[in-house]
Structure 1
Amino acid sequence: MCTGKCARFLGLCLIPLSLISIISNALLLAPNGETTWTNNLSKQVWYMAGFIGGGLMVFCPGIAAVRAGGKGCCGAGCCGNRCRMLRSVFSSAFGILGAIYCLSVSGTALRMGPQCLTDDDKWKYPFENTEGSYLVNRTMWSWCVKPPNVVHWNVTLFSILVAVSCLEIVLCGVQLVNAAIGVFCGDCRKEDAPH
C-alpha cells in the first residue's frame, strides 16, 4: 500500500476515534444523564483527558494524515507529498502524547473509582484503596448512593476511553512510521498521475 493511501486510511480511522473520545468525556460530565451532580464529579473527569488528549490532540493528526494522503502540497505534486508527510510525522507524535495522557488519566480513574455520596452522607472515593477490585465485584457498587448508577456510568465511559486511547496510540504510531517513510521515499504515486 502506498504511504499516501495508508496515511489517508489511518487519518479516517483516527478522526472518528477522537470524536468518540470527546463524546465519552462529555457524557462523564453528566452522570446518569443528569447535570445536577457537576459539583461532585471525580477529579479525573475534570482533567478532560478524553476531550483534550484523546480528542483534540488526536483529531489534528487525523486531519493531517488525511491531508498527507492528498495529491501534493503545491497543487502539482512537485514534492511527492513530502511536505505534508513531514507535518504528519510531528502531528502523529503530538497525537501519541495526547492518547497517552488520555490512557493514563482514564486508567487512574478506573483504578480509583468515582467520587460519590456514600451511606455515611460523605462525598468521597470509596473504592480508592480497593486496587481496582471493585471492577469485578459489582456488589461493592452499592457503596455509592448518589449520583444514581455513577459507578456503572464511570466504568463504562472510562473503559471506552482506555480502549479508544490504546487504538489511537497504535494508529498514531503506525502513521508516524508511515509518514517518516513517506518523507524519505515519497508516496509511490506516479509523477504523471492526474492531480
Structure 2
Amino acid sequence: MCCGGCAKCLGVTLIPLAVLCTIANILLFFPGGSVESSDHISDEVWYFGGILGSGILMVFPALVFFGLKNNDCCGCCGNESCGKRFAMFTSVIFAAVGVLGAGYSFILSAVALNKGPRCQVLNGTWTYPFQNGDYLEDHSSWSTCTYPQSVVPWNLTLFSLLLIMSGAQMVLCAIQAINGLLGTLCGDCKCCGCCGGDGAV
C-alpha cells in the first residue's frame, strides 16, 4: 500500500481543477461575454466560489498531497515511520480544508443554477427572472432575458462546470482523507527502506 504515491496522484489532479475553476469564475464576471457594471452581475459570482473555494484554497491541499511521496520519514524520535505517519496525518487536515473549500463552491454553484442569472428583462429593469430553476428545462423561457445576449447559457455552462469540478475536488479530497488515515495507522509502503542498517525495513 503506497499511500504517498496515491496522494501525489490526487495532488496532481487537483491543480488543473483549481486552475479551471478559477478561470470559470473569472469568466462569470463577463456575463454573456460582455463587460457589465458590478450591479449587473449575479451575486453568487461575487462570492468567489471558484476563485477562493475551489481555486486558491485548493492549492494548499494539492501541494501537500503532491509532496507527501518525497517527505523524509526517517529519524523521528527513533521511530523510522514516525515522520511519514505524521505527514499523512497532516494531509488529512488539509484534505478537510479542501472538502470545505470545494463544498463552498459546490453550494454556491447549485444556488446560482437554481436562481438563474441576473439580466435585463423586457421592461428594461435588471432582475432575476427565474428563481425556481424551471428555466433549466424550459429553454423557451430564456428569451425573458433580453440583455446581455446568451447570458443564460453562459451562466448555465460555467456554473455547471464549477458544480462538476468542485464535486470532483470534494471526492478527491475525501479519498485522500481516507488514504491519509490509512497512512497514519499503517504507515507508507516501506518508506524508510532507504535508511539502511538498522533503519531498513
Q: What's the TM-score, normalizing by structure 2?
A: 0.88
Paired position in structure 2 for 1:60: 60
Paired position in structure 1 for 2:105: 102
Cα deviation digits, residues 42-92 of structure 1 (max 9, x gap): 100101111111112222111111111224257997635223212211110
The percent identity for this pair of structures is: 40
Structure 1's 109 and 78: CA in aligned 2 closer, same or farther, altered over 3 A? Answer: same
User: Which segments of 5 or more consecutive residues in structure 1 lack a partner in the other structure?
Assistant: none
* 1:174 maps to 2:175: yes
Paired position in structure 2 for 1:21: 21
Give runs of aligned pairs for residues 1-150 of structure 1, distance below 5 A.
1-72=1-72, 79-128=82-131, 131-150=132-151
Structure 1's 20 and 73: CA in aligned 2 closer, same or farther, altered over 3 A? Answer: farther
- Count of equivalent residues: 192
Q: What's the TM-score, normalizing by structure 1?
A: 0.91
* Preserved CA contact (<8 Å) 2:88 2:183: yes
Structure 1's 127 and 2: CA in aligned 2 closer, same or farther, altered over 3 A? Answer: same
* Preserved CA contact (<8 Å) 1:40 1:116: yes
1:189 CA drift (Å): 2.6
Partners in 2 of 1:45 and 1:191 — Cα distance?
Answer: 47
Partners in 2 of 1:186 and 1:80 — Cα distance?
Answer: 9
1:31 CA drift (Å): 1.6
Partners in 2 of 1:68 and 1:124 — Cα distance?
Answer: 48
User: Which segments of 5 or more consecutive residues in structure 2 lack a partner in the other structure?
Assistant: 196-201
Larger Rg: 2
User: How big is the alpha-carbon RMSD for the aligned residues of Structure 1 and Structure 2?
Assistant: 1.9
